Structure 1
């Protein structure tokens, strides 16, 4: 038994469907691991957990909890780190406020989220909340670069059991529309900090009269850091949106807006708010002052706006005006047409890396307010990566849908370590308060990055340190050597940031003798070549920055596998540890809804199975733990068994769900351990378990499915009741009793 203070493996507690699934799966993992002398601990990085840890002062001793994210942030910097990270909520402001409300209703004295900040106390509370919202977890934990690919077993299964694909027609009216100027892409400037410039830095706004407002101080840039700055013109954005609304109506297609209001948690909610306002421009022209006085912000979406308007004295009058404008606008792409939830209702409902691949997989179709699929104008304001989706749409119009049964695969090596390229995230993104010049002032007084801006423009900066860049290139070299396939750096030499990266990349490839093994292509050209490559049944490695890592590891898996939740995601931490991610969680809210209504959870834990196997193999190598190696090998057998026997969750009541899938995973895992002949002790421990699991199959499945079709009470959404959740997710006493024998 490991006796160190830190468990051998840390499993993260998260949110929504992945967390519910872990309530069922984790006892299996901990029981099997314990029998092999491997300890598995848990750290809470859920949205509710992070809120509670951030505001302890008003809580009782029983309510308080440690700051597990901060603890994990330290652990991932050590060579002992071995973390299995499930997908957590990247909270938009509406989600954050909903979580706070639920905690308050449960007796937690958490302050309200201050949307409008005027006092110093409100500023302090807002700053603490800002550290929680958006993609707050990943930058803390990702002390390494990303290696994402489809596991061999998963890819083979997808080819043998191809998922459905929508039909692409050459006359499809679906298009991708993006700004041709005045956006983040066109205004980007970039520099690499020299030794003489390194040190403390600040961001300031200089007014026409020379007055200086410090937007952010306390920054520090090490020598070799690539620093970028750019802005999106509010005037240009509004003009673009108005043009697209009119064009969409003329074309007779759906209007859909695709942003990343979670990862880009400051910039994209503002862009989203512009879209809501421009879509309802006549209403804002008439009632804008009343909205401002009532604290109604379009950034929170149409759904919140409608709720707040209903509380105003002129609520009925304004709602009539809104309905009239909506009737005159193009039909909106719908999140849920049955419930009338539109693309513009909630900023976090339509996340580009999930929404665009789903639309492309569906043959360019989105759901309209009439509940029917229709072509759509996909509006992506910033043109930085819109060409990836634009080229995908063009390609499939020309060639027809991809055939998953014969397609190759696109792996990804992504630059993300130490908060690389955290575009649009707090605290270096600002809605400009007044006209002037925004500039970054470096330690020696140099101002290499500055922009003339107007009030309301969205200015943002990001930085990428030298060590992560070098580590990223070396990881790409290692993966290409291992795979021997096509490898492409998705970089545009004419873009400021990419040009700075290439100053590192080109000599590193040359020094390694690998320059001829990699191509360097713009994202648009790389998209076309990669699609042609996988259509021919061959493989490619996409070597990308942080944002494209996020986008492509949804786009290609959704086309190849039908989902991005089944990807193998390995983060080789720069100080020697390992972080094993389990896939995307974009569909998690709908899964929770179905569970509470029908007691059927269709969340597929295949990503967790893959991560577990890699985590155990890493433990075996790093700690020379042979029992962990045997466990990991057996996990791979169990995963293959789940796939081969078609025991993955299905969408409907009466079919296999998450809990019964976990039973079969445990069965196949125990059988693999009982069959191995390397460790007699493990064989002796697991042979009776395998026998008991097999003999009690009917009883276990009956217990797991006995309540299916009826509502399930979890006692909460963001903070579920532990006992109630365990009753739902661990419904088989027979299974729990067998696990207890270990």
Structure 2
């Protein structure tokens, strides 16, 4: 057991469906862990928790909570860290505003989100809110590089029980559309710093004004520093052309971005798409809409809510929409389009789902159609473009025989674009942007126009070297085909290749690895797994995110079942439980029908790894037995098809936790390494089996009815526990 106040294992408190599931699963974990002298505590990294922690001076004393994200940020830099991280909301502005309103209604006097701050006080509040937006959590906790792969039990089950794949045809009209120039990819410059340096970013306007965009940046020696921009004029021209092309082709128009992780750049790009879609309306009524508070970056849904009482503008919108191609729908029944909310269509979830479905997306008529997938920037669009071309040529993947693509991702210390939020800017005027080092050296320079989106990003030497060494370890352990997804013709990637090659050569393993641009690596990986063989994709941060949805969704039907281990650079462990992209729909169904179809398989996989890591770190043999038993329970859970089903009346998340607890207890009772543990769990296993019928009946007693857990972003823990732990019999056995 921990010798200080920090629990042995931290289980994060998050949002939406994963947090509902935690109310049922976490008490089981804590009870079982206690038998091995292991403590399991929680830290709140939910959106609501982060808002409350950010504005303590607005709250009553008994409403204040510690800044758990900051506490965890310190912990993950220590060898003692053992954190199980569940998926949390990476908030878009609409989500942030909704969470604030909910907290205010619950009696928390947090300030409103200032959409257009004017006073210094509003600007200060806005800056604090902006620190919460987007992926505020992941860069803080990921003090190590990523090792993501399908757990062996999960992969075996997927091959034995292959999911349904949509059929691809060679004449499918589905395609990827990207800019031919003027994007982040084409404008990127990159350099590796020979010494530690500080830097500032300055815009010198054409009129001679000097605007300091950012100062006080600090980089250690060996840091790869990039700068690039997207031309607003080129973007607008591209979007207008694609809308017309899509209409001519008779397919759906869809936009695919990452407006959560890329919380500055992608919402702006999203706003350009909304403006392009309604271009005639903005031309005629732009001033009126601005007066109504319309900000296209927040989506069509927010725009419509603001202009709904202006019949003339609404009529103009309807007229333009009638002339546009049909749009890819998030929810055709409710009329929620691809452009409604920037966080509704996240590229790493939306593109794999469309590809898995045979290139089909849902249209406004409630039917599936081919689609043009608009991905403006060319940095990673070729991955999806090549995947679509491959399946048009070869037909759909067969999950029963497909091999697997594992991933090793460079992400430590806010690596690459996902760390660019503080250094991304929408240009207030035309001029030249320069990144200037402390000795006056101009590291990077771009000529820009008003409205262009400029950003800088970096990757530090220590994480890069750690990433390469991690790849060497995994290749040696598996013998799989191993590919660095790096493009020698991209500025940033060329700098990384200059790190990668010497390390591989020094270790004598250069012949074990290939280096390919993303397009070529995509095809090579698809060819490999189609033959039933396996490969390791060694990638940067964004591709880590994209590929660990793309390949698992093709192989397993979901990315929520991935084993995700982050080997923290200072010796600790971070165990992530999978993606949460479908969680909002799960909560909506839960509230309406008391049925939660969230699958906690990702949590099971992370839990087993966490216990085994703890066993090694602290010499706790009982923890290793717990971890081995978790793996046995997970295999039993899969083999007996105890996953949650989709509809009320079928088993849901709570049923699945009962079965997991039962298999876990049975494995612990049957093991022969520790008689004390076996004796402890034997009666628990027996009681869970004996009371099966009664427990299942109690779990399902109120299914099909609406439930109130006291809030969406900030639910009431007592109400949530009551609805998520409805079996008194199960609760009594678990203790």
Decide: shared fold, TM above 0.5.
Answer: yes
Q: Does 1:370 align with 2:368?
A: no
2 CA distance for matches of 1:204 and 1:34? 56
**Residue aligning to 2:618:** 623
CA shift digits 1:376-432 (9 cap, x unpaired): 000000011000000000000000000000000000000000000134742100000
Asked if 1:335 is matched to 2:330, the reply is yes
Question: Who is 1:267 aligned against?
Answer: 265
Helix, strand or coil for the counterpart of 2:186? coil
Q: Which residue number in structure 2 is paired with residue 181 of structure 1?
A: 181
Match of 1:258 in 2: 256
For residues 442 and 287 of structure 2, what CA distance do their matches in structure 1 show? 38
Kindly provide the CA deviation profile for residues 354-377 of structure 1, in whole angstroms up to 9, marking residues without a partner as x.
Answer: 000000000000000000000000
Aligned pairs for 1:129-278 (under 5 A) are 129-195=129-195, 198-278=196-276
What is residue 384 of structure 2 aligned with on the other side? 389
Gaps of 5+ in 2: none
* Conserved 8 A contact 1:130-1:426: no
1:676 pairs with 671, 674, 689, which one?
671
Q: Deviation at 1:59?
A: 0.6
d(CA) in 2 for partners of 1:63 and 1:282?
48
Partner Cα separation in structure 2 for residue 692 and residue 444 of structure 1? 72
In 1, Cα distance between equivalents of 2:302 and 2:41? 39
Which residue is equivalent to 2:51? 51
What are the within-5 Å matches in structure 2 for residues 215-614 of structure 1? Answer: 215-311=213-309, 315-423=310-418, 425-614=420-609
Does the CA-based 8 Å contact 1:146-1:412 persist in structure 2? yes
Q: Distance in 2 between matches of 1:599 and 1:5?
A: 37
1:256, distance to aligned residue in structure 2 (A): 0.2
Render the CA deviation track for 1:284-325: whole Å, top value 9, x for unaligned.
0001111222221000000000000125xxx11100100000
Aligned-pair distance for 1:444?
1.1
Give the secondary-structure state (helix, strand or coil) at the position aligned to 1:604.
Answer: coil
Q: Secondary structure at the match of 2:343?
A: coil
Tell me the distance in 2 between the aligned counterparts of 1:291 and 1:458.
23
Deviation of 1:122 after TM superposition, in Å, equals 1.3
- Whole-angstrom CA distance in 2 between matches of 1:463 and 1:579: 22
1:210, distance to aligned residue in structure 2 (A)? 3.0
Partner of 1:29: 29
Give 4+ residue runs of structure 1 displaced > 6 Å after superposition.
none
Aligned: 1:85 with 2:112? no
5 Å-filtered alignment, 1:117-132, equals: 117-132=117-132
Corresponding residue for residue 718 of structure 1: 713
Q: Quote how far apart the aligned CAs of 1:448 are.
A: 1.8
Partner Cα distance (1:508, 1:425) in 2: 27
Q: Which secondary structure state, in structure 1, belongs to the residue aligned with residue 333 of structure 2?
A: coil
Aligned to 1:19: 19
Taking the aligned partners of 2:717 and 2:596, their CA distance within structure 1 comes to 17
Decide whether the 8 Å contact of 2:139 with 2:419 is kept in 1: no
Question: Once the two structures are superposed, what CA deviation does each residue of 1:580-616 show, in whole Å capped at 9, x if it has no partner?
Answer: 0000000000000111111111100000000000000
Provide the secondary structure at the position in 2 that maps to 1:439: strand
Q: Is the 8 A contact 1:267 1:425 kept in 2?
A: no
Q: Answer yes or no: is the 8 Å Cα contact 2:419–2:458 preserved in 1.
A: no
The CA distance in 2 between the partners of 1:262 and 1:234, in whole Å, is 20
Query: What is the rounded CA distance, in whole Å, between the counterparts of 1:582 and 1:374 in structure 2?
Result: 33
Q: 1 CA distance for matches of 2:370 and 2:626?
A: 48
Q: Quick one: distance in 2 between partners of 1:431 and 1:282?
A: 23
1:432–1:456 contact (8 Å) kept in structure 2:
yes
Q: Is the 8 A contact 2:414 2:459 kept in 1?
A: yes
Q: Distance in 1 between matches of 2:703 and 2:392?
A: 42
1:70-107: CA deviations, max 9, x gaps? 00000000000000000000000110111001001111
RMSD: 0.8
Tell me the CA shift for residue 199 of structure 1.
2.5
CA distance in 2, matches of 1:117, 1:519: 50
SS at match of 1:278: helix
1:600-638 per-position Cα deviation (integer Å, ceiling 9, x unaligned): 111000000000000000000011100100100000010
**Is the 8 Å Cα contact of residues 255 and 332 (structure 1) preserved in structure 2?**
yes
Equivalent residues of 2:83, 2:575 under 8 A apart: yes
Alpha-carbon distance in structure 2 between the residues aligned to 1:701 and 1:566: 25
Is 1:650 matched with 2:645?
Answer: yes
Q: Per-residue CA shift, 1:434-492, capped at 9, x if unaligned?
A: 00011111111111211000000000111110000000000000010011010000010
Rounded to whole Å, the distance in 2 between the matches of 1:85 and 1:133 is 18
SS in 1 for 2:447: strand
State whether residues 423 and 460 of structure 1, in contact with CA within 8 Å, keep that contact through their aligned partners in structure 2.
no
Provide the rounded CA distance (Å) in 2 between the counterparts of 1:3 and 1:31: 19
SS at 1:684 equivalent? helix
Structure 1 residues without counterparts, runs of 5 or longer: none
How many aligned positions are there?
735
